């Protein structure tokens, strides 16, 4: 009998989370074949808090609050506001299609029939970046004030507003709600505001560091630790990046050996469409072994990794720590090529898959083996780097080439935009004032000059 997914009597938040999980497993990095997903996610959230593998373009972080505010301005509240926003999220798909830039367009292929709307995908990110100022679900937010009340005078501090959305949110383009043509290009003011919002929301992280540097990520960039801007980080952020780099390198070997075992089992079952896979993965494993020999994994103290993961509030289980420790120790001790045929290494991987997935372990389930696509989690972990790169480049494009606008953060309140007191780990470029060692607020306000 085929598997069926059905909604029972679950909350809106639970249903949204379930849909996110389903979509999540279509992403290359989301597969957790050997039970290291908790460590992967802890490192991802340390480096790039507020992000997920589902995010596509930065301007969705403005589209969503714009829709809620406009719906409320038109008199909608409660379920009617929900319906109005959802309807116009679907109308926005057509407008973005007409705009011509389809990269990252949610609903690009199915149009208004798309199941997962941007508001559901971006909701937690909106909260983490302080754009949505309440810990509420979409169903709860529609009963709260969407816009700040009119200030009594130009000096009133809008931070005291009871509005659910950030009161300094830049306004949408005049023609936005025509839903005829729209694009993902941030204006200078939008990009500057969004960058400031992120910098203030995620202190002492690599995401803050790169946003503050106006980083632009090359299309060919595979990993954060290979990016020249990220290489400038220091202190605790540098430590976290190094832990991620070592973990990704070390566990890539385990993933490759797992795929060697799968390819061998496919041959035993005469699954001809996977002929040659075993040799390909074995070659990659030998190349990985040579790379490991020139790395700093040999001197890696895993206690730093466990402390970092535990600091995220969800420490790795004893069995997961044991597996990672055993694999790293084995990899350190096995020199040269031929790891694909090493009995100790093969047994460790076989046992780990069965321990993690039990009856769903492919190596012991011929039915699942016949459904195998030829590779399972064989990519090296990137910790959401390509997702983050797209968001960074959207903001960089806006700040460098975006359409100019008259609005700027704090203008409605008659006050300057706030800047973070410091940017931990910054060690080159002229972003830092030589005396105060803090970001120059003028660089935030003036989007046409400065290096912020």
What pLDDT was estimated at residue 442? Answer: 32
Could you tell me which of 29, 17, 37, 16 has the C-alpha nearest to residue 357?
A: 37
What pLDDT was estimated at residue 33? Answer: 94
> What average pLDDT does the segment 200-222 reach?
96
Average pLDDT, the chain: 84
Burial (0-12, 13-18, 19+ Cβ within 10 Å), 348: middle
For 374-413, what is each residue's pLDDT tens digit?
999 999 999 999 999 999 999 999 999 876 543 333 333 3
Q: What backbone torsions phi and psi does residue 247 show, to the nearest 5 degrees?
A: -65, -45
State the SS3 of 56-117: CCCCHHHHHHHHHHHHHHCCCCCHHHHHHHHHHHHHHHHHHHHHCCCCCCCCCCCHHHCCCC
* Residue 93 scores a pLDDT above 60: yes
Q: 431: pLDDT confidence band, cut at 50, 70 and 90?
A: very low
Q: Which of 46-60, 190-204, 330-344, 350-364 bottoms out in mean pLDDT, i.e. has the lowest?
A: 330-344
Residue 450 burial (CB count, 10 A): 17
| Exposure b/e, 415-441, CB count within 10 A at least 16 = b | bebebbeebbbbeeeebbeeeeeebbb
Contact between 199 and 417 (Cβ < 8 Å)? no
Give the Cα separation of 319 and 303 in Å (integer): 15
What pLDDT was estimated at residue 152? Answer: 52
For 131-148, what is each residue's pLDDT tens digit?
999 998 888 888 887 877
Could you tell me which of 452, 404, 406 has the C-alpha nearest to residue 426?
A: 452
Q: 31: pLDDT confidence band, cut at 50, 70 and 90?
A: confident
> What average pLDDT does the segment 224-247 reach?
97
> Token pair of 155, please?
């000096």
For 288-303, what is each residue's pLDDT tens digit?
999 999 999 999 999 9
More confident site: 387 or 338: 387
For 152-161, what is each residue's pLDDT tens digit?
554 444 445 6
In the chain, pLDDT over 90 holds for what percent of residues? Answer: 72
More confident site: 424 or 413: 424
Contact between 393 and 181 (Cβ < 8 Å)? no
* Residue 441 scores a pLDDT above 90: no
* Residue 64 scores a pLDDT above 50: yes
What pLDDT was estimated at residue 147? Answer: 76
Q: Tell me, yes or no, if the pTM score tops 0.75.
A: yes
């Amino acid at each position: 009998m085929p598997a069926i997914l059905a909604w029972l009597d679950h909350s809106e938040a639970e249903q949204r989370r379930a849909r996110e999980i389903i979509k999540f497993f279509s992403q290359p990095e989301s597969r957790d074949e050997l039970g290291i997903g908790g460590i992967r996610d802890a490192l991802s959230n340390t480096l790039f808090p507020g992000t997920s593998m589902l995010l596509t373009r930065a301007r969705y972080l403005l589209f969503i609050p714009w829709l809620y505010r406009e719906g409320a301005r038109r008199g909608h509240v409660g379920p009617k506001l929900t319906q109005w926003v959802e309807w116009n999220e679907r109308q926005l798909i057509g407008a973005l299609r007409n705009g011509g830039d389809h990269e990252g367009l949610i609903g690009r292929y199915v149009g208004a029939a798309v199941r997962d709307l941007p508001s559901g995908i971006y909701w937690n990110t909106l909260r983490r970046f302080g754009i949505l100022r309440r810990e509420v679900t979409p169903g709860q937010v529609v009963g709260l004030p969407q816009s700040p009340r009119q200030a009594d005078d130009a000096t009133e501090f809008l931070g005291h507003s009871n509005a659910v959305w950030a009161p300094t949110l830049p306004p949408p383009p005049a023609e936005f709600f025509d839903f005829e043509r729209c694009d993902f290009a941030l204006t200078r003011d939008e990009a500057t505001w969004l960058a400031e919002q992120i910098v203030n929301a995620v202190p002492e992280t690599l995401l803050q560091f790169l946003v503050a540097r106006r980083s632009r990520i090359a299309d060919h960039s595979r990993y954060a630790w290979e990016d020249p801007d990220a290489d400038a980080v220091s202190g605790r952020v540098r430590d976290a990046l190094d832990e991620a780099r070592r973990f990704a390198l070390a566990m890539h070997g385990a993933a490759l050996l797992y795929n060697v075992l799968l390819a061998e089992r496919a041959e035993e079952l005469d699954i001809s469409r996977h002929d040659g896979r075993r040799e390909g993965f074995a070659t990659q494993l030998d190349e990985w072994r040579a790379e490991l020999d020139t790395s700093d994994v040999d001197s890696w103290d895993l206690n730093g990794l466990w402390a970092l993961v535990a600091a995220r509030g969800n420490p790795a289980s004893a069995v997961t720590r044991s597996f990672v420790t055993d694999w790293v120790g084995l990899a350190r001790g096995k020199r040269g090529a031929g790891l694909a045929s090493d009995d100790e290494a093969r047994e460790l991987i076989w046992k780990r898959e069965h321990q993690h997935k039990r009856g769903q372990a492919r190596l012991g389930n011929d039915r699942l083996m016949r459904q195998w696509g030829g590779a399972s989690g064989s990519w090296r972990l990137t910790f959401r780097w390509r997702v983050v790169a797209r968001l960074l480049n959207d903001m960089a494009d806006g700040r460098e080439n975006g359409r100019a606008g008259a609005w700027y953060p704090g203008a409605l309140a008659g006050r300057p935009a706030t800047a973070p007191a410091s940017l931990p780990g910054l060690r080159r470029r002229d972003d830092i004032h030589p005396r105060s060692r803090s970001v120059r607020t003028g660089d935030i306000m003036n989007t046409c000059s400065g290096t912020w």
